[in-house]
Amino acid sequence: MTELGPAIDERALEEAVRFTSELIRIDTTNRGGGDGREREAAEYAAERLAEAGAEPVILEKAPGRSNVVARIAGTDPSADALLVHGHLDVVPAEADDWSVDPFSGAIRDGIVWGRGALDMKGMDAMVLAAVRSWARAGVRPRRDVVVAFTADEEASAEYGAGFLAERHGALFEGCTEGISESGGFTFHGGDGLRIYPVGAGERGTAWLRLTARGTAGHGSKAHPHNAVVILAEAIARIGRHRWPVRPVPTVRAALTELAAVYGVDVDLDAEEFDADDLLAKLGPAAQLVESTLRNSANPTVFEAGYKVNVVPGHAAAQVDGRMLPGWEDEFVATMDELTGPEVDWEFQHRTVPLGAPVDSPTFAAMRSAIERFDPEARVVPYCMSGGTDAKQFSRLGIVGYGFSPLRLPAEFGYGKLAHGVDERVPADGLRFGVRVLDDFLRAA
């Protein structure tokens, strides 16, 4: 085991909590379509880094859409660099629905309240607190650690990680792996089981636009070529399609480890293997894998017609598709087949699926950092059903993991609160998180 030096100090624990609250108070709502402003939060982060002797740069593709990047030199110059990234923007919050002002950052009874508490200003604060503690203690991580705080993750990443990957790749030189949101938090698996899912893959986004062309005309006449009917049939085929189970390596590892956690004997390669049967035996943890066993395509928008006695000449629809790594060709072929010859379809928005190795030293270091601070933790890899900035950084060859460590009590539903009403995080969860993060970053 690597010698870690002194443990993180009390001040870092206090800063992780206070910085979360202060970052929440800076409203960085991202409404999409270019409507957002991260500059004040970026300046806040840059100042906290500069106070610790780092030399952050602020980068903008458009005024106000600010990103921050800094490199902390490691002790082993031959080691690959590690990227730690967190987004600064948040999704909108409707204040009327909340019990507190969503941008108050109020700390009450040991809980920090506000939009971004979980997604993901808490992690941003922990990163700042850890880096500052190294400066105070005079310690450095083994690998170079490149810290990036990004704009625009909650929309297209065009002003954030997409812009950094495209235009400022040199800042990430030597980075082979990255860590960020959506993993490393406590998932309560029933019977006191504390599972910590660590992200090791993401499905790719496939937002589709479908168009059917038919013969327009009077609603009272015979219309064998009605675009509404043609498209509705295609949409029904897509919505009812049972996609085959395709256990990609990350999901296989998740199923294997979860089966072990729940004491279920399973052979994924057996001919009689039945994924649904296994899910039924995994209790609440089935949620961690059920959306990533297969590709998916959900019809979400249908647009057709304008008057009851007019058959429209065309009809359009949108479908939210998600593709597993390695199964994109199958997705395309299946959509060709399901839409049929009379419906055209195209990608409106397409992003790459990701898969990260779960047998890497980095994964092992994340696992042992969590286990050090929660000896009963069951760390398992999982594949995210959606996507993060890791997709953008993958263009630089950076393998992404979802690791924002956080200890949450049983009544805390991470999934419900991120992007939800009354988003909040326990201060103790952040204190746990910054300890784990510091331990991992220095040892990795």
User: Known catalytic residues?
Assistant: 89, 153
Q: What are phi and psi of 247, to 5 degrees?
A: -70, 100
Report how far residue 130's alpha carbon sits from residue 123's, in angstroms, rounded to the nearest whole number. Answer: 10
Decide whether 322 or 378 has the Cβ nearer to Zn ion.
322
Taking contact as CB under 5 A, which single stretch among the options 96-104, 116-124, 125-133, 263-271 is the one that binds Zn ion? 116-124
Question: Shortest distance, CB of residue 123 to Zn ion, whole angstroms?
Answer: 9
Q: Is the dihedral of CA 407, 418, 364, 376 positive or negative?
A: positive
Tell me the residue number closest to Zn ion, measured at CB: 119
Secondary structure string (H, E, C) spanning 202-240: ECEEEEEEEEEECCCEECCCCCCCCHHHHHHHHHHHHHH
Report how far residue 153's alpha carbon sits from residue 157's, in angstroms, rounded to the nearest whole number. Answer: 5
Helix H or strand E encompassing 424: strand 424-426
Decide whether 23 or 52 has the Cβ nearer to Zn ion.
23
- Count of positions (residues) in the chain: 444
- Here's the x/- map for Zn ion, 181-210, by CB under 5 A: it reads as x-----------------------------
Decide whether 181 or 257 has the Cβ nearer to Zn ion.
181
Decide whether 177 or 181 has the Cβ nearer to Zn ion.
181
Helix H or strand E encompassing 296: strand 296-304
Report how far residue 80's alpha carbon sits from residue 67's, in angstroms, rounded to the nearest whole number. Answer: 23
Residues sharing a CB contact under 8 Å with residue 285, sequence separation 6 or more, in sequence order: 187, 189, 195, 258, 261, 262
Report how far residue 127's alpha carbon sits from residue 148's, in angstroms, rounded to the nearest whole number. Answer: 10
Question: Shortest distance, CB of residue 262 to Zn ion, whole angstroms?
Answer: 29
Decide whether 133 or 388 has the Cβ nearer to Zn ion.
388
Q: Is the dihedral of CA 282, 283, 286, 288 positive or negative?
A: negative
Instruction: Give the count of residues interacting with Zn ion (CB under 5 A).
Output: 3
Please name the residue that has the structure tokens 């698996």.
Answer: 189
Q: Is 120 in the site for Zn ion (CB under 5 A)?
A: yes
Q: Is the dihedral of CA 371, 373, 377, 380 positive or negative?
A: negative
- Collapsing DSSP to helix, strand or coil, 285 comes out as helix
Decide whether 181 or 438 has the Cβ nearer to Zn ion.
181
Question: Shortest distance, CB of residue 349 to Zn ion, whole angstroms?
Answer: 18
Decide whether 91 or 288 has the Cβ nearer to Zn ion.
91
Residues sharing a CB contact under 8 Å with residue 192, sequence separation 6 or more, in sequence order: none
Question: Shortest distance, CB of residue 254 to Zn ion, whole angstroms?
Answer: 21
Give the closest residue to 121 by CA, choosing from 423, 385, 428, 343.
423
- Here's the x/- map for Zn ion, 164-183, by CB under 5 A: it reads as -----------------x--
Question: Shortest distance, CB of residue 419 to Zn ion, whole angstroms?
Answer: 8
Taking contact as CB under 5 A, which single stretch among the options 119-127, 170-178, 245-253, 256-264 is the one that binds Zn ion? 119-127
Helix H or strand E encompassing 88: none
Burial class (CB within 10 angstroms; exposed 0-12, middle 13-18, buried 19+) of 170? exposed
Of residues 335 through 394, those in contact with Zn ion by CB under 5 A are none
Question: Shortest distance, CB of residue 389 to Zn ion, whole angstroms?
Answer: 8
Among 15, 38, 119, 152, binds Zn ion (CB under 5 A): 119
Taking contact as CB under 5 A, which single stretch among the options 35-43, 113-121, 359-367, 425-433 is the one that binds Zn ion? 113-121
DSSP 406: B
- Here's the x/- map for Zn ion, 125-164, by CB under 5 A: it reads as ----------------------------------------
Report how far residue 50's alpha carbon sits from residue 38's, in angstroms, rounded to the nearest whole number. Answer: 18
88, two tokens? 């600064």
Decide whether 119 or 438 has the Cβ nearer to Zn ion.
119
Question: Shortest distance, CB of residue 276 to Zn ion, whole angstroms?
Answer: 30
Taking contact as CB under 5 A, which single stretch among the options 60-68, 114-122, 223-231, 436-444 is the one that binds Zn ion? 114-122
- Collapsing DSSP to helix, strand or coil, 393 comes out as helix
Report how far residue 417's alpha carbon sits from residue 183's, in angstroms, rounded to the nearest whole number. Answer: 15
Report how far residue 246's alpha carbon sits from residue 293's, in angstroms, rounded to the nearest whole number. Answer: 6
Decide whether 120 or 230 has the Cβ nearer to Zn ion.
120
| Footprint on this chain of Zn ion (rule: CB under 5 A) | 119-120, 181
